[in-house]
Amino acid sequence: MSIQDTYRTDLADFLGINTDQISLYWKGRVGLYAVLKAMGIGPGDEVILPAFTCVVVPNAILYTGATPVYVDIDPNSLCCETKSIEKAITPHTKAILIQNMLGLSYEVHDIVSLAKARGIYTIEDCTHGFGGKYQGQFNGLMSDAAFFSSQWNKPFSTGIGGMLVINNQALHEPLQKINATLEAPSFKDRLVLSTLIWARTYLLKGFTYWTLLRWYRWLSKKGWVIGSSSADELTGTSMPNGYFKGMSLVQCRKGIKSLKSLKKTMLLRKNNALKLHEWLLKHHKTCVPQPLIEDHAFLKYPLLVNDRAAFIEKSEKARLPLGDWFISPLHPVKSSLVPWGLNIDQHPHARYISQHIVNLPLEGDLSRLINFLELYQNEIL
Ligand SMILES: Cc1ncc(COP(=O)(O)O)c(C=O)c1O
Protein backbone atom coordinates (compact mmCIF):
# COMPACT_ATOMS: atom_id res chain seq x y z
CA MET A 1 0.00 0.00 0.00
CA SER A 2 1.33 3.52 -0.79
CA ILE A 3 2.08 5.95 2.07
CA GLN A 4 -0.90 8.07 0.93
CA ASP A 5 -3.23 5.08 1.09
CA THR A 6 -1.91 4.04 4.49
CA TYR A 7 -2.58 7.53 5.80
CA ARG A 8 -6.07 7.64 4.26
CA THR A 9 -6.83 4.22 5.77
CA ASP A 10 -5.61 5.33 9.23
CA LEU A 11 -7.81 8.43 9.04
CA ALA A 12 -10.78 6.38 7.87
CA ASP A 13 -10.29 3.79 10.63
CA PHE A 14 -10.16 6.55 13.24
CA LEU A 15 -13.49 7.94 12.03
CA GLY A 16 -15.04 4.55 11.26
CA ILE A 17 -15.62 5.33 7.57
CA ASN A 18 -14.38 3.94 4.21
CA THR A 19 -10.98 4.92 2.87
CA ASP A 20 -12.49 6.05 -0.45
CA GLN A 21 -14.45 8.76 1.39
CA ILE A 22 -11.17 10.57 2.08
CA SER A 23 -9.10 12.87 -0.17
CA LEU A 24 -5.85 14.53 0.88
CA TYR A 25 -4.68 18.08 0.09
CA TRP A 26 -1.78 20.46 0.68
CA LYS A 27 -4.04 22.49 3.02
CA GLY A 28 -7.61 22.19 4.35
CA ARG A 29 -8.85 25.15 2.29
CA VAL A 30 -7.96 23.25 -0.91
CA GLY A 31 -10.35 20.49 0.18
CA LEU A 32 -13.10 23.08 0.60
CA TYR A 33 -12.46 24.45 -2.88
CA ALA A 34 -12.48 20.93 -4.35
CA VAL A 35 -15.82 20.01 -2.80
CA LEU A 36 -17.46 23.30 -3.83
CA LYS A 37 -16.41 22.51 -7.41
CA ALA A 38 -17.65 18.92 -7.05
CA MET A 39 -21.01 20.34 -5.96
CA GLY A 40 -21.06 22.32 -9.20
CA ILE A 41 -21.01 25.64 -7.34
CA GLY A 42 -20.07 28.67 -9.44
CA PRO A 43 -21.13 32.15 -10.56
CA GLY A 44 -24.65 33.13 -9.47
CA ASP A 45 -24.65 30.67 -6.56
CA GLU A 46 -24.57 31.63 -2.88
CA VAL A 47 -22.80 29.85 -0.04
CA ILE A 48 -23.76 30.62 3.56
CA LEU A 49 -20.92 30.84 6.10
CA PRO A 50 -20.22 32.39 9.52
CA ALA A 51 -19.15 36.03 9.72
CA PHE A 52 -16.42 34.80 12.06
CA THR A 53 -14.00 32.57 10.22
CA CYS A 54 -10.64 32.43 8.52
CA VAL A 55 -10.33 34.52 5.35
CA VAL A 56 -9.30 31.46 3.34
CA VAL A 57 -12.87 30.15 3.69
CA PRO A 58 -14.62 32.97 1.75
CA ASN A 59 -11.60 32.92 -0.58
CA ALA A 60 -12.34 29.32 -1.61
CA ILE A 61 -15.97 30.33 -2.31
CA LEU A 62 -14.93 33.40 -4.29
CA TYR A 63 -12.41 31.37 -6.35
CA THR A 64 -15.37 29.35 -7.70
CA GLY A 65 -17.13 32.58 -8.74
CA ALA A 66 -19.89 32.08 -6.13
CA THR A 67 -20.93 34.66 -3.52
CA PRO A 68 -20.30 34.26 0.21
CA VAL A 69 -23.36 35.14 2.32
CA TYR A 70 -22.39 35.82 5.92
CA VAL A 71 -24.42 34.98 9.02
CA ASP A 72 -23.68 36.37 12.50
CA ILE A 73 -22.58 33.96 15.21
CA ASP A 74 -24.22 33.17 18.51
CA PRO A 75 -21.85 34.78 21.05
CA ASN A 76 -22.07 31.82 23.45
CA SER A 77 -21.30 28.89 21.14
CA LEU A 78 -19.29 30.99 18.63
CA CYS A 79 -21.20 29.06 15.93
CA CYS A 80 -24.18 30.04 13.75
CA GLU A 81 -27.70 29.26 14.92
CA THR A 82 -30.21 27.50 12.66
CA LYS A 83 -32.66 30.40 12.86
CA SER A 84 -30.04 32.90 11.61
CA ILE A 85 -29.02 30.59 8.77
CA GLU A 86 -32.65 30.10 7.75
CA LYS A 87 -33.10 33.86 7.32
CA ALA A 88 -30.08 34.00 4.97
CA ILE A 89 -31.36 31.31 2.57
CA THR A 90 -32.42 32.53 -0.87
CA PRO A 91 -33.31 30.68 -4.10
CA HIS A 92 -29.59 30.99 -5.01
CA THR A 93 -28.27 29.23 -1.89
CA LYS A 94 -26.37 26.10 -2.93
CA ALA A 95 -24.45 25.22 0.24
CA ILE A 96 -24.22 25.99 3.96
CA LEU A 97 -20.92 25.84 5.82
CA ILE A 98 -21.23 24.57 9.39
CA GLN A 99 -18.14 25.57 11.31
CA ASN A 100 -16.62 23.91 14.35
CA MET A 101 -15.15 26.84 16.26
CA LEU A 102 -12.11 25.84 18.36
CA GLY A 103 -13.63 22.35 18.34
CA LEU A 104 -17.15 23.39 19.33
CA SER A 105 -20.19 22.42 17.27
CA TYR A 106 -23.75 23.60 17.69
CA GLU A 107 -27.19 22.66 16.25
CA VAL A 108 -25.50 20.62 13.51
CA HIS A 109 -28.39 18.19 13.00
CA ASP A 110 -30.95 21.01 12.87
CA ILE A 111 -28.94 22.85 10.22
CA VAL A 112 -28.49 19.67 8.16
CA SER A 113 -32.27 18.94 8.34
CA LEU A 114 -33.09 22.50 7.31
CA ALA A 115 -30.68 22.29 4.35
CA LYS A 116 -31.95 18.86 3.24
CA ALA A 117 -35.53 20.09 3.26
CA ARG A 118 -34.51 22.94 0.93
CA GLY A 119 -32.26 20.84 -1.36
CA ILE A 120 -29.12 22.65 -0.17
CA TYR A 121 -25.75 20.98 0.43
CA THR A 122 -24.03 21.13 3.83
CA ILE A 123 -20.26 21.19 4.40
CA GLU A 124 -18.77 20.97 7.88
CA ASP A 125 -15.69 23.12 8.45
CA CYS A 126 -13.93 20.77 10.86
CA THR A 127 -10.55 22.42 10.61
CA HIS A 128 -10.51 22.66 14.42
CA GLY A 129 -12.47 19.53 15.16
CA PHE A 130 -10.90 16.30 13.92
CA GLY A 131 -11.60 13.54 16.46
CA GLY A 132 -14.22 15.52 18.37
CA LYS A 133 -17.84 14.42 18.55
CA TYR A 134 -21.18 16.20 18.46
CA GLN A 135 -24.00 14.36 20.25
CA GLY A 136 -22.04 11.11 20.01
CA GLN A 137 -21.19 11.36 16.31
CA PHE A 138 -17.75 12.29 14.95
CA ASN A 139 -17.44 15.84 13.62
CA GLY A 140 -17.53 15.77 9.86
CA LEU A 141 -19.85 12.80 9.39
CA MET A 142 -23.17 14.61 9.69
CA SER A 143 -23.31 16.56 6.44
CA ASP A 144 -22.64 15.98 2.73
CA ALA A 145 -18.95 16.63 3.15
CA ALA A 146 -16.44 17.99 5.65
CA PHE A 147 -12.96 19.44 5.41
CA PHE A 148 -10.26 19.21 8.06
CA SER A 149 -6.92 20.89 8.66
CA SER A 150 -3.74 19.31 9.98
CA GLN A 151 -1.80 22.58 10.04
CA TRP A 152 0.60 23.23 12.95
CA ASN A 153 -1.81 24.01 15.77
CA LYS A 154 -4.70 21.83 14.74
CA PRO A 155 -5.92 18.67 16.55
CA PHE A 156 -2.97 16.79 15.04
CA SER A 157 -0.34 18.08 12.65
CA THR A 158 1.21 17.28 9.28
CA GLY A 159 3.03 20.66 9.29
CA ILE A 160 0.45 22.09 6.96
CA GLY A 161 -2.19 19.88 5.36
CA GLY A 162 -5.82 19.06 4.99
CA MET A 163 -8.35 16.45 4.04
CA LEU A 164 -11.88 16.12 2.84
CA VAL A 165 -14.49 13.55 3.82
CA ILE A 166 -17.35 12.88 1.43
CA ASN A 167 -20.50 11.43 3.00
CA ASN A 168 -22.76 12.00 0.00
CA GLN A 169 -21.91 9.26 -2.53
CA ALA A 170 -23.17 11.38 -5.43
CA LEU A 171 -20.20 13.71 -4.94
CA HIS A 172 -17.65 10.94 -5.32
CA GLU A 173 -17.38 10.90 -9.12
CA PRO A 174 -17.25 14.67 -9.72
CA LEU A 175 -14.69 14.95 -6.92
CA GLN A 176 -12.45 12.30 -8.51
CA LYS A 177 -12.46 14.32 -11.75
CA ILE A 178 -11.48 17.49 -9.87
CA ASN A 179 -8.83 15.71 -7.80
CA ALA A 180 -7.25 14.45 -11.02
CA THR A 181 -6.29 18.08 -11.78
CA LEU A 182 -4.38 18.60 -8.49
CA GLU A 183 -0.78 19.75 -8.82
CA ALA A 184 1.93 17.80 -7.02
CA PRO A 185 3.87 19.77 -4.36
CA SER A 186 7.19 20.96 -5.80
CA PHE A 187 10.65 19.89 -4.60
CA LYS A 188 11.00 23.29 -2.88
CA ASP A 189 7.60 22.91 -1.14
CA ARG A 190 8.62 19.51 0.19
CA LEU A 191 12.09 20.60 1.25
CA VAL A 192 10.89 23.70 3.10
CA LEU A 193 8.10 21.80 4.82
CA SER A 194 10.41 18.93 5.86
CA THR A 195 12.86 21.46 7.32
CA LEU A 196 10.08 23.19 9.25
CA ILE A 197 8.74 19.89 10.58
CA TRP A 198 12.27 18.92 11.64
CA ALA A 199 12.82 22.31 13.33
CA ARG A 200 9.50 22.11 15.19
CA THR A 201 10.24 18.57 16.35
CA TYR A 202 13.85 18.99 17.46
CA LEU A 203 14.47 22.70 18.09
CA LEU A 204 11.17 23.97 19.45
CA LYS A 205 11.64 23.33 23.14
CA GLY A 206 10.37 25.50 26.01
CA PHE A 207 13.49 27.66 26.23
CA THR A 208 13.85 28.23 22.46
CA TYR A 209 10.13 28.84 21.79
CA TRP A 210 10.10 32.64 21.94
CA THR A 211 13.26 33.17 19.91
CA LEU A 212 12.15 30.73 17.21
CA LEU A 213 8.66 32.23 17.14
CA ARG A 214 10.15 35.66 16.47
CA TRP A 215 12.31 34.23 13.63
CA TYR A 216 9.39 32.30 12.15
CA ARG A 217 7.15 35.39 12.13
CA TRP A 218 9.90 37.44 10.48
CA LEU A 219 10.69 34.79 7.86
CA SER A 220 6.98 34.25 7.03
CA LYS A 221 6.51 38.01 6.60
CA LYS A 222 9.35 37.97 4.06
CA GLY A 223 7.71 34.97 2.33
CA TRP A 224 10.82 32.83 2.96
CA VAL A 225 9.06 30.03 4.81
CA ILE A 226 5.67 28.41 4.30
CA GLY A 227 3.29 30.43 6.46
CA SER A 228 -0.35 29.45 6.92
CA SER A 229 -1.40 31.81 4.12
CA SER A 230 0.36 33.62 1.29
CA ALA A 231 0.25 37.42 1.04
CA ASP A 232 -2.12 37.06 -1.98
CA GLU A 233 -4.68 35.23 0.13
CA LEU A 234 -4.76 38.02 2.72
CA THR A 235 -5.01 40.95 0.35
CA GLY A 236 -7.18 39.84 -2.56
CA THR A 237 -9.72 37.36 -3.78
CA SER A 238 -8.01 35.81 -6.81
CA MET A 239 -6.66 32.30 -6.58
CA PRO A 240 -2.87 32.36 -6.06
CA ASN A 241 -0.60 30.30 -8.32
CA GLY A 242 0.00 26.78 -7.07
CA TYR A 243 -3.11 26.82 -4.81
CA PHE A 244 -4.73 23.59 -5.95
CA LYS A 245 -2.14 21.16 -4.64
CA GLY A 246 -2.29 17.63 -3.31
CA MET A 247 -0.62 16.24 -0.20
CA SER A 248 3.05 15.28 -0.22
CA LEU A 249 4.59 12.11 1.23
CA VAL A 250 6.29 14.21 3.92
CA GLN A 251 2.86 15.25 5.19
CA CYS A 252 1.41 11.73 5.02
CA ARG A 253 4.33 10.29 7.01
CA LYS A 254 3.95 12.99 9.66
CA GLY A 255 0.18 12.43 9.75
CA ILE A 256 0.51 8.67 10.30
CA LYS A 257 2.80 9.36 13.27
CA SER A 258 0.78 12.23 14.79
CA LEU A 259 -2.49 10.37 14.55
CA LYS A 260 -1.15 7.67 16.87
CA SER A 261 -0.96 10.06 19.84
CA LEU A 262 -4.19 11.97 19.08
CA LYS A 263 -6.46 10.19 21.55
CA LYS A 264 -4.01 10.80 24.40
CA THR A 265 -3.60 14.48 23.43
CA MET A 266 -7.37 14.95 23.20
CA LEU A 267 -7.80 13.55 26.70
CA LEU A 268 -5.17 15.92 28.06
CA ARG A 269 -6.84 18.87 26.30
CA LYS A 270 -10.24 17.94 27.66
CA ASN A 271 -8.99 17.55 31.26
CA ASN A 272 -7.16 20.86 31.08
CA ALA A 273 -10.16 22.57 29.51
CA LEU A 274 -12.36 21.37 32.35
CA LYS A 275 -9.92 22.86 34.87
CA LEU A 276 -10.00 26.22 33.07
CA HIS A 277 -13.77 26.00 32.79
CA GLU A 278 -14.10 25.50 36.55
CA TRP A 279 -11.80 28.45 37.19
CA LEU A 280 -13.88 30.70 34.91
CA LEU A 281 -17.15 29.57 36.50
CA LYS A 282 -15.78 30.16 39.99
CA HIS A 283 -14.72 33.68 39.04
CA HIS A 284 -18.01 34.46 37.24
CA LYS A 285 -16.35 34.94 33.85
CA THR A 286 -17.70 34.15 30.38
CA CYS A 287 -17.21 30.47 29.57
CA VAL A 288 -18.40 27.77 27.17
CA PRO A 289 -22.11 27.12 27.95
CA GLN A 290 -22.48 24.12 30.27
CA PRO A 291 -24.78 22.05 27.97
CA LEU A 292 -22.13 22.20 25.23
CA ILE A 293 -19.21 21.07 27.37
CA GLU A 294 -19.74 17.36 26.77
CA ASP A 295 -19.61 17.83 23.00
CA HIS A 296 -16.64 20.17 22.94
CA ALA A 297 -13.47 18.71 21.41
CA PHE A 298 -11.48 21.56 22.98
CA LEU A 299 -8.70 22.44 20.60
CA LYS A 300 -8.28 25.66 22.60
CA TYR A 301 -10.35 27.32 25.30
CA PRO A 302 -11.84 30.67 24.24
CA LEU A 303 -11.36 33.54 26.68
CA LEU A 304 -12.79 37.04 26.36
CA VAL A 305 -10.68 39.91 27.65
CA ASN A 306 -11.20 43.62 27.85
CA ASP A 307 -8.04 44.87 26.11
CA ARG A 308 -6.63 42.02 24.03
CA ALA A 309 -3.41 43.70 22.88
CA ALA A 310 -2.45 44.57 26.47
CA PHE A 311 -3.41 41.10 27.72
CA ILE A 312 -1.33 39.33 25.05
CA GLU A 313 1.62 41.63 25.76
CA LYS A 314 1.47 40.72 29.44
CA SER A 315 1.25 37.03 28.59
CA GLU A 316 4.31 37.27 26.30
CA LYS A 317 6.24 39.00 29.09
CA ALA A 318 5.23 36.13 31.39
CA ARG A 319 6.40 33.70 28.66
CA LEU A 320 2.91 32.19 28.32
CA PRO A 321 1.97 31.41 24.71
CA LEU A 322 -1.67 32.56 24.43
CA GLY A 323 -3.18 32.33 20.95
CA ASP A 324 -4.46 35.35 19.07
CA TRP A 325 -6.59 33.51 16.53
CA PHE A 326 -9.65 35.30 15.12
CA ILE A 327 -8.46 38.81 15.85
CA SER A 328 -10.65 39.79 12.90
CA PRO A 329 -14.03 38.47 11.68
CA LEU A 330 -12.06 37.16 8.67
CA HIS A 331 -8.89 36.18 10.45
CA PRO A 332 -6.19 37.51 10.12
CA VAL A 333 -7.24 40.38 7.82
CA LYS A 334 -7.14 43.65 9.73
CA SER A 335 -7.77 45.94 6.74
CA SER A 336 -11.14 46.48 5.00
CA LEU A 337 -13.29 43.37 4.58
CA VAL A 338 -15.04 44.83 1.54
CA PRO A 339 -13.13 42.65 -0.98
CA TRP A 340 -14.71 39.60 0.71
CA GLY A 341 -18.19 41.18 0.69
CA LEU A 342 -18.44 41.32 4.49
CA ASN A 343 -20.15 44.32 6.07
CA ILE A 344 -19.34 43.73 9.71
CA ASP A 345 -21.86 46.35 10.91
CA GLN A 346 -24.50 43.73 10.12
CA HIS A 347 -22.84 41.13 12.38
CA PRO A 348 -22.36 42.68 15.83
CA HIS A 349 -21.58 39.44 17.68
CA ALA A 350 -18.83 38.50 15.24
CA ARG A 351 -17.36 41.98 15.59
CA TYR A 352 -17.50 41.95 19.39
CA ILE A 353 -16.00 38.47 19.77
CA SER A 354 -13.23 39.19 17.27
CA GLN A 355 -12.30 42.28 19.30
CA HIS A 356 -12.08 40.46 22.63
CA ILE A 357 -11.15 36.82 22.05
CA VAL A 358 -7.88 35.12 22.96
CA ASN A 359 -7.47 31.38 23.12
CA LEU A 360 -5.88 29.42 25.89
CA PRO A 361 -3.51 26.52 25.17
CA LEU A 362 -4.60 23.18 26.58
CA GLU A 363 -1.46 21.09 26.42
CA GLY A 364 1.05 20.77 29.25
CA ASP A 365 0.83 21.94 32.83
CA LEU A 366 -1.72 24.72 33.38
CA SER A 367 -0.56 25.93 36.77
CA ARG A 368 1.42 28.92 35.42
CA LEU A 369 -1.50 29.86 33.16
CA ILE A 370 -3.98 29.73 36.03
CA ASN A 371 -1.66 31.87 38.20
CA PHE A 372 -1.52 34.38 35.35
CA LEU A 373 -5.33 34.43 35.05
CA GLU A 374 -5.59 34.95 38.83
CA LEU A 375 -3.25 37.91 38.58
CA TYR A 376 -5.11 39.61 35.72
CA GLN A 377 -8.64 38.42 36.45
CA ASN A 378 -10.03 41.97 36.39
CA GLU A 379 -9.23 42.12 32.69
CA ILE A 380 -11.21 38.98 31.86
CA LEU A 381 -14.81 39.48 30.75
C1 LIG B 1 -12.11 28.14 10.66
C2 LIG B 1 -11.04 27.77 9.67
N3 LIG B 1 -11.41 27.29 8.46
C4 LIG B 1 -10.49 26.94 7.55
C5 LIG B 1 -9.14 27.03 7.81
C6 LIG B 1 -8.16 26.62 6.75
O7 LIG B 1 -7.38 25.49 7.08
P8 LIG B 1 -5.99 25.28 6.31
O9 LIG B 1 -5.00 26.24 6.89
O10 LIG B 1 -5.60 23.86 6.54
O11 LIG B 1 -6.27 25.57 4.88
C12 LIG B 1 -8.70 27.53 9.04
C13 LIG B 1 -7.26 27.64 9.31
O14 LIG B 1 -6.79 27.70 10.39
C15 LIG B 1 -9.68 27.90 10.01
O16 LIG B 1 -9.32 28.39 11.20
Instruction: Return per-residue pLDDT of the chain as tens, 381 residues.
Output: 999 999 999 999 999 999 999 999 999 999 999 999 999 999 999 999 999 999 999 999 999 999 999 999 999 999 999 999 999 999 999 999 999 999 899 999 999 999 999 999 999 999 999 999 999 999 999 999 999 999 988 999 999 999 999 999 999 999 999 999 999 999 999 998 999 898 888 777 666 777 777 777 777 666 666 667 888 899 999 999 999 999 999 999 999 999 999 999 999 999 999 999 999 999 999 999 888 888 788 899 999 999 999 999 999 999 888 888 899 999 999 999 999 999 999 999 999 999 999 999 998 889 999 999 999 999 999
Ligand 1 binding residues, C-beta < 6 A: 27-29, 53-54, 56-57, 99, 125, 127, 149, 151, 162, 228
Decide if 237 contacts 340 (C-beta within 8 A).
yes
Q: How confident is the model at residue 207, as a pLDDT? A: 64
Q: How confident is the model at residue 42, as a pLDDT? A: 98
61 contact partners, CB below 8 Å, separation of at least 6 = 36, 41, 47, 49, 67, 68
188 contact partners, CB below 8 Å, separation of at least 6 = none
Decide if 78 contacts 369 (C-beta within 8 A).
no
Atom of ligand 1 nearest to the CA of 153: 14
SS3 of the chain: helix, strand, coil, percent, to 5: 45, 15, 40
Atom of ligand 1 nearest to the CA of 30: 11
Amino acid present at 150: S
CA of 158 to the centre of ligand 1 (A): 14
367 contact partners, CB below 8 Å, separation of at least 6 = none
Atom of ligand 1 nearest to the CA of 53: 1
Q: How confident is the model at residue 199, as a pLDDT? A: 83
CA of 99 to the centre of ligand 1 (A): 10
Which residues are bridge partners to 124 per DSSP? 98, 146
- CB burial of residue 85 (10 Å; 0-12, 13-18, 19+): buried
Dihedral angle computed from the Cα positions of residues 94, 62, 346 and 78, in that order, rounded to the nearest 10 degrees: 80
Q: How confident is the model at residue 201, as a pLDDT? A: 81
232 contact partners, CB below 8 Å, separation of at least 6 = 238, 240
SS3 state at 157 = coil
Nearest Cα residue to atom 2 of ligand 1: 54
Q: How confident is the model at residue 153, as a pLDDT? A: 87
Q: Which domains, from first to last, does the chain contain?
A: 3-179 (3.40.640.10), 188-239 (no CATH), 262-379 (3.90.1150.10)
Q: How confident is the model at residue 212, as a pLDDT? A: 74
